[in-house]
Each structure stands twice: as C-alpha cells, then as structure tokens.
C-alpha cells in the first residue's frame, strides 16, 4: 500500500499528492515542512481543522481518501502563517563558519536545508530526497527577526537525564541564528507567576558546562499551571519563542499556552521537547533520558543480582520508575540478562495461587538457589489499595508496589517455612538524577520555532527527527504492547511464565 500523507496544509490536492506518493513510494509519512504549499488569501485568518479520528471502513471505496484526509487534519502542524500573512526571510542560521570543504559547496548544499518534500515515515524507512535530514534542521526561510527575538526555555515535571544538554543545545542554536535575548524560566511553569523567581539570562558562556551534571539548571516543578496567567506573563515579558521541555503534562500545558496565544493573536511560537525517562510519549521511538535510565537501572539490577546470588536463597528485588508504562523495566530486564521475573503495568498477573508469582519464586529458589525480580512502579496497582491522592499536577499518586512486593515475598516464604533473604533496591531517583549518556545528550529543537511552527513537539519518529502537533502526542501515554516482539524478547530472556 503506497500512501504518502502530506500533513500540514489544507490547500494541496489529492491528485498532486498521489503523484508524489507514486514517485517516492512513501508510506504513512509525517510531513516535515510544507510552507510553500500554503495558498491563502492575504489577511484572511485561517482556522485550523480540528483533529478528528474515525474508524476506517475498508469496504468503503473511498477509504483511502478518507484516511488521507483524516491524517491531513490530524498531523497538520500549526503555523504562524495560519493567523498572519507573513513572508519569510532568508535564514540567519549557517554552519559555514565550521566548513571544511574549502568553499567548494554552495551555502545551500553545505547547510543541507531541508525542503518541503522531506518527511519521516512511520512504517518504512525511506529518504524522501537525497538531502533529507529529518525535520529538526534549518529551513532556508524563517519567520522571525533573530535580533529582535526574545526566547525563553522552561523545564517542567520530574527530572530526566539530558535536561541540561537540551537547554545548552537550544541556547547554542539560538545564538547561531543571532538571537541575543535568551532567558530561562525557573522551576517550571511556576517561574511564570511566582514572585521572586527571576528570569535567568542565558548565553553560551552561561550554559557551556551545564551538561556536565544531571538535573535541570533551571529547576523543575509540578503543578500550578494557570494558562491565562502564564500567557499574561509571556505577553508582559515580550517572549516570542517558548521552549517547553517536559513530559505529557508539560506538553498539555504547552498546547494550552499555544492555543491561548492563538486566541490572543500573539506571534509566539511554542515548541515542546519531549522529556521522560518513562519513554511514554506517543509516536516517539525513544525520548531523551530513557537510554541513560536503562543503563543506570542495569547497575541496580546488577547489584541486586550479586546480592541475591551471594546470599543463601537470595531474592533480589528492584523497583524502577514507570507510572503507566513499563518500558524502563522491560528494557533494563532484557538488556541486563539477570532478571527472572519482570512485572509491568501493561501486563496483569496474580501473586498467589498455583500460577502466581510467589509459586514461581519458590520454583526458582529450588532450581537455581536465587532469583532477581524487577518491577515497574505502576505494576500490580489492581492488587493494591487505591489512595485517590494526586500530586500537584493532578497525577495519581500510586501505591508503592516495590515495598508491597518486598513484604509479600518475605511473608510468603516465612509462611511456607522456606528461608529467603530478600534484598530490595529502589534506585528510582538515582536513575533520574544522573548525567545523560552519549545518545541522550544529542537533541535540539530550535529550527521548528524559526520556521514558524507553534504547538508542536519534535522527536525521533522511525529513526528521523520529526515535528508532530502536540495534540496528537498527548491523547494517551505510549505503553508497552504485550504482544510486541520486545515484550516477548523480555519474556524469553527472563523465562517467566504467564502468571494467571
């Protein structure tokens, strides 16, 4: 099935589109940039189509067209020219200072500006053009005058390895464009309205070494986000670009800010950067911080393994983060090769009975003398008492499954009169607070803002950096598919049965 989806314009024709798709054989693509496709009357504000999702009826002869139209609506990136009749100017971003080709290539070729036909593909990997570089790369034309831009960066939610790397990279890139006025908003959205939290002026000099430590140079916080107050503050501070680094909640907040700016007709680009060790953002292959978290988690698993193996009837137990998605637990269990039982929120299980986890632990102690269990914090919530309490951002506070398992295992083996030496490790904040590893330290997302997009997020989608409308990524958290190969690989590695 060869279907290419050109996402961000209301004005192209399906005929043109099919020509494109036949030529390049793209499938299910996210368009990177389509500014030149926009045909609209001067001064007439455009209204962006509201995202609509419909179930496909394959017996309907026009299903392809409907599917395509649905995608066009949903993946249309909000753009500044939706509300302003603006002409772009030539970009100020250039890498020519660093060039090593002795000037033989043209500036266009050297910078490799992406063109309107570049897109990331969801189902297959195929370059749309020889110059394809992913969405997160400069365009030839920009919609802001760099010398007049005030850009702000804010980090919200919990910590994540790589936050400082992203802040640093955003500052560096803004400076390459020629932006002089860059500020950090302290302690998440709180910094917009809490008196006493001053803007932090940022520059290459200020952020040069912040990547050498974990945490957030700007501070983080949960809760307290009042969209209208934040936008009042954005207006009062004359911010033109806002970079929000955060998870699902921060993205929802960024989108609300974007919508409010739209409503007030403010020329502000709100661009989000997905940040979550849980790796639970829809459509993203992987978010920064996840790899580091897995690596760090493996250290804890290794310690649990050594403790368990060295003890008589040792049982190592490690709790890892993952509110509603068990990616860290699955990946760390799989890559460590030291886990016998991995429990995640997406897969239900029983603890007692013939097929329960406890019986399996008995069997492991009998068979090999020790075992190691890894649990995601959100696992087994149906087995625990619900608290109904929420944190400042409205996230449900989970019952502590790690502590519950520790007690459960201890009591179980005591009850059956079998010695068991339980070693419980909860490395969750250590995993989150550490410095990013090499693969998590590379990300930047400034170009989308200069290209005029707003209400977007960027991330690795089928190995390419792509822009996506925030509305699409916040519909629900990404979760481990229990039928996926990865989960089955994990089961093969642990050798655990179905606990039902």
Ligand X SMILES: Nc1ncnc2c1ncn2[C@@H]1O[C@H](COP(=O)(O)OP(=O)(O)OP(=O)(O)O)[C@@H](O)[C@H]1O
Q: Which residues bind ligand X (CB under 6 A)?
A: 156-158, 188-189, 222-225, 246-250, 252-253, 256, 276, 393, 395
Strands 314-320 and 421-425, how do they pair? parallel
Footprint of ligand F6P on 369-398 (CB under 6 A): 377, 391
Q: Which one of Mg ion, ligand X, ligand F6P, none is in contact with 420 (Cβ closer than 5 to 8 A by kind)? A: none
The answer to whether residues 339 and 411 touch, using CB atoms and an 8 Å cutoff, is no
Q: Should residue 247 be labelled a site residue for ligand F6P when binding is judged by CB under 6 A? A: yes
Q: Which one of ligand F6P, ligand X, Mg ion, none is in contact with 156 (Cβ closer than 5 to 8 A by kind)? A: ligand X
Footprint of Mg ion on 243-282 (CB under 5 A): 247-249
Q: Among residues 325 and 493, whose Cβ is nearest to ligand X? A: 325
- Using a CB cutoff of 8 Å and minimum separation of 24, what contacts does 396-404 make? 398/323, 400/319, 401/319, 401/343, 401/375, 401/376, 401/377, 402/317, 402/319, 402/375, 402/377, 402/426, 404/380
Q: Which one of Mg ion, ligand X, ligand F6P, none is in contact with 225 (Cβ closer than 5 to 8 A by kind)? A: ligand X
Q: Should residue 276 be labelled a site residue for ligand F6P when binding is judged by CB under 6 A? A: yes
Q: Among residues 277 and 441, whose Cβ is nearest to ligand F6P? A: 277
Residue 60 is given by DSSP the state S
Least distance (Å) between residue 403 CB and ligand X: 21
Least distance (Å) between residue 395 CB and ligand F6P: 7
Nearest CA-CA partner of 91 in 120, 118, 117, 112: 112
Number of alpha carbons in the 13 Å side-chain half-sphere of residue 400 = 10
The residue whose two tokens read 């699902």 is 248
Least distance (Å) between residue 136 CB and ligand F6P: 23
| Helix axes 290-310 and 327-336, enclosed angle (nearest 10) | 50
Residue 236 is given by DSSP the state H
Q: Please, what is the Cα angle at 380 between 389 and 320, to 5 degrees?
A: 85
Catalytic residue among 278, 291, 340, 440: 278
Active site residue 278: yes
Q: Should residue 455 be labelled a site residue for Mg ion when binding is judged by CB under 5 A? A: no
Least distance (Å) between residue 245 CB and ligand X: 9
Site string for ligand F6P, 296-335 (x = CB under 6 A): -------------------------xxx------------
Q: Among residues 169 and 250, whose Cβ is nearest to ligand F6P? A: 250
What Å distances lie between residue 10 and 16, 79, 100, 153, CA to CA?
A: 13, 12, 41, 31
Least distance (Å) between residue 375 CB and ligand X: 19
Q: DSSP string covering 403-430, please? A: HHHHHHHHHHHHHHT---EEEEE--HHH
Q: Which residues contact 134 (CB under 8 A, 6 or more apart)?
A: 32, 114, 118, 120, 464, 465, 466
Q: Which one of ligand F6P, Mg ion, ligand X, none is in contact with 322 (Cβ closer than 5 to 8 A by kind)? A: ligand F6P
Among 78, 134, 138, 158, binds ligand F6P (CB under 6 A): 158
Least distance (Å) between residue 187 CB and ligand F6P: 13
Q: Among residues 139 and 432, whose Cβ is nearest to Mg ion? A: 432
Q: Among residues 257 and 293, whose Cβ is nearest to ligand F6P? A: 293
Q: Which one of ligand F6P, ligand X, Mg ion, none is in contact with 436 (Cβ closer than 5 to 8 A by kind)? A: none
Least distance (Å) between residue 246 CB and ligand X: 4
Residue 456 is given by DSSP the state E
| CA 150 – CA 3 distance, rounded (Å) | 40
The answer to whether residues 474 and 195 touch, using CB atoms and an 8 Å cutoff, is no
Q: Among residues 248 and 269, whose Cβ is nearest to ligand F6P? A: 248
| CA 23 – CA 26 distance, rounded (Å) | 8
Least distance (Å) between residue 50 CB and ligand X: 18
Which two structure tokens, joined as six digits, stand for 490? 């994990």
Which two structure tokens, joined as six digits, stand for 146? 């760099």
Q: Among residues 55 and 382, whose Cβ is nearest to ligand F6P? A: 382
The answer to whether residues 162 and 212 touch, using CB atoms and an 8 Å cutoff, is no
Q: Which one of ligand X, Mg ion, ligand F6P, none is in contact with 176 (Cβ closer than 5 to 8 A by kind)? A: none
Q: What is the SS3 assignment for 259? A: helix
Q: Among residues 289 and 314, whose Cβ is nearest to ligand F6P? A: 289
Q: Should residue 326 be labelled a site residue for Mg ion when binding is judged by CB under 5 A? A: no
Residues that bind Mg ion (CB under 5 A): 247-249
Active site residues: 278
Question: Which residues of the shown chain bind ligand F6P in the complex (CB under 6 A)?
Answer: 157-158, 247, 276-278, 321-323, 377, 391
């Amino acid at each position: 099935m060869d279907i290419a989806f050109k996402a961000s314009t209301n004005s192209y024709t399906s005929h043109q589109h099919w020509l494109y798709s036949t030529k390049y054989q793209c499938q299910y693509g996210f368009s990177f940039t389509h500014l030149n496709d926009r045909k609209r009357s001067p001064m007439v504000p455009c209204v962006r189509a509201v995202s609509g999702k419909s179930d496909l009826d394959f017996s309907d002869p026009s299903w392809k067209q409907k599917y395509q139209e649905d995608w066009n609506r949903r993946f249309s990136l909000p753009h500044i020219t939706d509300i302003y009749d603006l002409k772009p100017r030539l970009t100020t971003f250039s890498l020519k200072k660093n060039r090593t080709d002795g000037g033989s290539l043209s500036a266009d070729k050297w910078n490799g500006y992406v063109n309107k036909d570049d897109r990331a593909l969801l189902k297959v990997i195929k370059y749309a053009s020889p110059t394809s570089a992913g969405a997160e790369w400069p365009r030839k034309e920009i919609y802001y005058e760099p010398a007049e831009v005030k850009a702000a960066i804010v980090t919200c939610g919990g910590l994540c390895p790589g936050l400082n790397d992203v802040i640093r990279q955003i500052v560096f890139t803004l400076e390459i464009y020629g932006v002089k006025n860059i500020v950090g908003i302290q302690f998440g959205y709180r910094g917009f309205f809490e008196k006493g939290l001053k803007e932090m002026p940022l520059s290459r000099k200020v952020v040069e070494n912040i990547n050498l430590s974990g945490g957030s140079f700007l501070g983080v916080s949960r809760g307290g986000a009042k969209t209208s107050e934040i936008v009042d503050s954005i207006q009062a501070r004359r911010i033109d670009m806002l970079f929000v680094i955060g998870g699902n909640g921060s993205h929802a907040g960024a989108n609300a800010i974007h919508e409010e700016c739209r409503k007030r007709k403010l020329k502000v680009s709100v661009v989000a950067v997905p940040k979550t060790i849980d790796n639970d953002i829809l459509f993203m292959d992987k978010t920064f911080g996840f790899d580091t978290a897995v690596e760090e988690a493996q250290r804890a698993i290794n310690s649990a393994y050594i403790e368990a193996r060295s003890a008589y009837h040792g049982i190592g137990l490690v709790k890892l983060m993952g509110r509603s998605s068990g990616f860290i637990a699955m990946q760390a269990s799989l890559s460590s090769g030291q886990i016998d039982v991995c429990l995640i929120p997406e897969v239900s299980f029983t603890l007692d009975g013939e097929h329960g986890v406890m019986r399996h632990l008995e069997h492991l102690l009998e068979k090999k003398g020790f075992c190691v269990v890894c649990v995601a914090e959100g696992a087994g919530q149906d087995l625990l008492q619900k608290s109904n309490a929420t944190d400042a951002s409205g996230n449900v506070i989970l019952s502590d499954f790690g502590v519950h398992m520790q007690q459960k295992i201890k009591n179980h083996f005591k009850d059956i009169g079998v010695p068991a030496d339980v070693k419980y490790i909860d490395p969750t904040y250590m995993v989150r607070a550490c410095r990013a590893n090499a693969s998590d330290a590379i990300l930047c997302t400034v170009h989308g803002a200069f290209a005029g997009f707003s209400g977007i997020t960027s991330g690795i989608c089928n190995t390419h950096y792509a822009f996506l409308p925030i509305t699409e990524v916040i519909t629900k958290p990404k979760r481990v598919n229990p039928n996926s190969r990865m989960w089955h690989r994990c089961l093969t590695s642990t050798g655990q049965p179905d606990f039902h």
